[in-house]
Amino acid sequence: MSFIQPIILSSSCQHSLHHRYELSIYRGDCEHPHAPGNKWHKLQHHLTEAKKQQASVIATFGGPFSNHLHAFGSTLKSIPFKAVAVVRGELQPKLTPTLIDMVNNGVELWPSSRSDYRLGASSDVTHTINMLYDNVYWIPEGGGGLLGTLGCRDWAGDISNMDDEYDAWVVSAGTGTTAAGLLAHHQTPDLHVFSALKGAQNQRDFIVDQAQQINAAELSQSMAIQKPLSEKLFFHSHCHEGGYAKQSPALKKFIYEFAKNNSDSPLDPVYTCKSMYAVFTAMEEGTWPYRRTLFIHTGGLQGWRGYPLSSNPFVLP
């Protein structure tokens, strides 16, 4: 299959939209059987580093419907490391489908209160795990850190080799790791990043800083003459539709309309639906400044497992 597919621009003024804009989607969700989209790219350099450090245990963090945790568990099933996951919030007697898959893949789950979870590597639960096991390699939440960013820069190179000179790329953001990696690649065009988090205004600086850090040691003359990173990044913090994993009535309506016309390109309810909605809205308002746009699907669809099946319009009846 082709990883780049056209999107039908459905609206009351559909004909005029197609006349003015061309929107395609990079199907990252179809890339990897166990860690789709950005997930494998964020994990790969961490796994290499864990092996280099001769770690016996690899541990990471995530929520009960985390795309990262699901990909982590599926990937480590076939790799000779013990896998440990710190799960945000108390584990309930009935695990989520995402966590059930992880247990079936051999991952050891550790619950963490929300307050302790926010402490990350300094939390009580990570201290306990480090005391229990020797030589634990920790992957940051979401597969982040500079190694995760580096993997996403590699991914940008792969996408660039497939794309057809789009004027801009669009990507959703949680931790900002993927956006930083895409931004860091010299072939990436203007990059529009839509955060799924409420109050993420300061994330733009983080994205630029991460991108600059991984490029700092590799600057060449050819890279130096490229457009400055901060000038090709367009960060949007107002499209969260009420906050993380929340949906406004307008977003729900859009999801159903999009699925009706693009049923073969499923979006997730937490990240990609919101950024796609923002792009559609800008196009309908005539404020989107590009003729040809590539929307990068970051791959995770675990979010739908937190909603009733009937609320997912991409599932055939």
| CATH number of residue 8's parent domain | 3.40.50.1100
DSSP 3-state percent helix, strand, coil across the chain (nearest 5): 45, 15, 40
Query: Could you say which of 134, 161, 177 is where a domain stops?
Result: 134
* 151 and 189 within one domain: yes
Cα distance between residue 241 and residue 257, in whole Å: 17
In this structure, are strands 4-6 and 22-26 parallel, antiparallel, or unpaired?
Answer: antiparallel
**Does residue 66 carry a catalytic annotation?**
yes
Looking at the domain assignment, is residue 288 inside a domain?
A: yes
* 238 and 107 within one domain: no
Range of the domain at 82: 56-134
The b-or-e profile of 204-215 (16+ CB within 10 A means b, else e) is bebbbebbbebb
Give me the sign of the Cα torsion angle 9, 282, 212, 40.
negative
For the chain, how many structural domains are there in total? 2
Q: Do residues 275 and 310 touch, judged by C-beta distance below 8 A?
A: no
The predicted pLDDT at position 199 comes to: 80
* 20 and 122 within one domain: no
* The model's pTM: 0.92
* 297 and 203 within one domain: yes
pLDDT per position as a tens digit, 267-312? 999 999 999 999 999 999 999 999 999 999 998 899 889 888 888 9
Looking at the domain assignment, is residue 202 inside a domain?
A: yes
The predicted pLDDT at position 222 comes to: 47
* 244 and 129 within one domain: no
* 279 and 243 within one domain: yes
The predicted pLDDT at position 164 comes to: 74
Mean pLDDT for back-to-back runs of 10 residues, the chain (317 residues)? 86 64 94 90 98 98 95 94 94 89 97 94 97 97 96 96 90 95 96 89 93 79 63 89 77 92 92 94 94 95 88 78
Looking at the domain assignment, is residue 48 inside a domain?
A: no
User: What Rg do the C-alpha atoms of the chain give, in angstroms?
Assistant: 20
* 152 and 87 within one domain: no
The predicted pLDDT at position 91 comes to: 78
The predicted pLDDT at position 221 comes to: 39
* 117 and 25 within one domain: no
The predicted pLDDT at position 317 comes to: 52
**Phi-psi category of residue 241: left, alpha or beta, with phi > 0 → left and psi -120 to 50 → alpha:** left
Looking at the domain assignment, is residue 50 inside a domain?
A: no
Looking at the domain assignment, is residue 244 inside a domain?
A: yes
The predicted pLDDT at position 225 comes to: 45
The predicted pLDDT at position 217 comes to: 62
Query: Could you say which of 134, 156, 173 is where a domain stops?
Result: 134
Q: Do residues 75 and 58 touch, judged by C-beta distance below 8 A?
A: no
Looking at the domain assignment, is residue 51 inside a domain?
A: no
* 167 and 24 within one domain: yes
169, amino acid identity: W
Catalytic residue, chosen from 66, 112, 265, 275, is 66
The predicted pLDDT at position 200 comes to: 77
Cα distance between residue 43 and residue 151, in whole Å: 7
* 66 and 9 within one domain: no
Edge to edge, the sheet with strand 190-195 lists: 4-6, 22-26, 292-296, 168-173, 190-195, 233-236
Looking at the domain assignment, is residue 44 inside a domain?
A: no
* 190 and 168 within one domain: yes
The predicted pLDDT at position 32 comes to: 86
The predicted pLDDT at position 180 comes to: 97
* 201 and 304 within one domain: yes
